Homo-oligomer: A and B are copies of this chain.
Amino acid sequence: MHSNVHELIERYLSVSFLVNKKAAALVKCELDEMTNDQYYLLRYMSKRNVCTSTELAAVFAVNKSAITAMTNRLVEKEMIQRLRDENDRRVIYLSLTEKGKRWLAETETKIHHLVESLITQFSEEEIESFIQTYEKLANILQKLEETK
């Protein structure tokens, strides 16, 4: 039983590494002139509608200065815009521009086709339970962070 846990951990480390790298490479092929991080940033911002640097730093698990650099590049590309809060002038809201929304919509279509071609090779039950476990793991990681 104990050595089994050890083996499961090894398998998990190897497979998660491999899938991450290969999936990132596939996603990248669909992103003309944009990077994977830029895609995920726009994707997250689009879901939240509006958000702040501090929030992004927490979600991406990086320093705020990394977010400043990334958002600067996205502002230059006219994909997002900054808007200062008039009540609390420390905070700056980030949101997608029309160009950013257009690009994201087109890209999401491509990425969905890509993921669909992979996901449909599994039964619906298998994928459903896979994602459920994955989401449990995400929750555990989220809570772990909150306790620190």
Interface size on A, residues (CB 8 A): 55
> Is A116 positioned at the interface, with any CB of B under 8 Å from its CB?
yes
Asked whether, in the complex, the Cβ of A137 is within 8 Å of the Cβ of B118, the reply is yes
> Is A13 positioned at the interface, with any CB of B under 8 Å from its CB?
yes
Q: Please report the C-alpha to C-alpha distance between residue A127 and residue B5 in the assembled complex, in whole angstroms.
A: 10
Q: Which of A98-148 contact B (CB under 8 A)?
A: 111-112, 115-116, 118-122, 124, 126-131, 133-138, 140-142, 144-145
Q: Please report the C-alpha to C-alpha distance between residue A4 and residue B37 in the assembled complex, in whole angstroms.
A: 27
Which residues of chain B come closer than 8 Å to A119, judged between CB atoms? 5, 8-9, 12
In-complex Cβ contact of A5 among B26, B47, B120 (8 A): B120
Residue of B nearest to A9 (CB): B115
Asked whether, in the complex, the Cβ of A141 is within 8 Å of the Cβ of B23, the reply is yes
Sample of 16 A–B contacts (CB below 8 Å): A5-B116, A8-B127, A8-B131, A9-B112, A9-B115, A9-B116, A13-B115, A15-B131, A15-B138, A22-B138, A22-B142, A118-B144, A122-B133, A129-B133, A130-B130, A130-B133
A interface list, Cβ under 8 A from B: 1, 4-6, 8-9, 11-26, 40, 43, 47, 59-61, 111-112, 115-116, 118-122, 124, 126-131, 133-138, 140-142, 144-145
